[in-house]
């Protein structure tokens, strides 16, 4: 094995140095989803609630450790673009859709992945993708935006 090959393997196998996780939802009875989040590896959390103005938080070390563990366990290169049931490829009118995007930087290389599913096809999505989405949506719920007072 030559040095260039060893170096490229170490870059691929290393944990991401910086990352961004985005979880968004759509659909449902009102068609607007449940909200979504954007979380950066620096701990900055941007919440986009179902209703109301977006807000920004800094997550705790404990929360960050949970998310970091899920990011490091993720295998996004194996994700398909969409997970749908053949009998319902467009989702029913009142189903929620979950969209998951992960961007990771390893050295000078930045990679981006994305996937999504409707509620009825969630079990078709890989467990690592489901875990990332659930972790992000749990942060959205625990850091609910407070209404602004004038």
Domains of the chain and any CATH numbers: 17-142 (3.30.1560)
For residue 98, pLDDT beyond 60 = yes
The pLDDT score that the predictor gives to residue 91 is 85
Query: If DSSP codes are grouped into helix, strand and coil, which group holds residue 149?
Result: coil
- If you average pLDDT over residues 101-121, what whole number do you get? 93
More confident residue, 24 or 106: 24
Question: For residue 25, what is the enclosing H or E element?
Answer: strand 18-27
């Amino acid at each position: 094995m030559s040095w260039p090959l060893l170096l490229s393997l170490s870059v691929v196998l290393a944990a991401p140095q910086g990352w961004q996780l985005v979880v968004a939802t759509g659909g449902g009875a009102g068609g607007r989803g449940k909200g979504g989040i954007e979380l950066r590896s620096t701990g900055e959390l941007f919440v986009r609630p179902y209703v109301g103005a977006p807000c920004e938080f800094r997550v705790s070390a404990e929360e960050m450790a949970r998310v970091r563990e899920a990011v490091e366990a993720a295998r996004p290169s194996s994700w398909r673009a969409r997970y749908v049931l053949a009998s319902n490829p467009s989702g029913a009118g009142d189903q929620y859709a979950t969209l998951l995007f992960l961007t990771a930087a390893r050295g000078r290389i930045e990679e981006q992945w994305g996937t999504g599913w409707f509620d009825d096809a969630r079990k078709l999505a890989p467990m690592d993708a489901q875990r990332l989405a659930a972790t992000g949506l749990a942060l959205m719920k625990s850091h609910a935006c407070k209404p602004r007072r004038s």
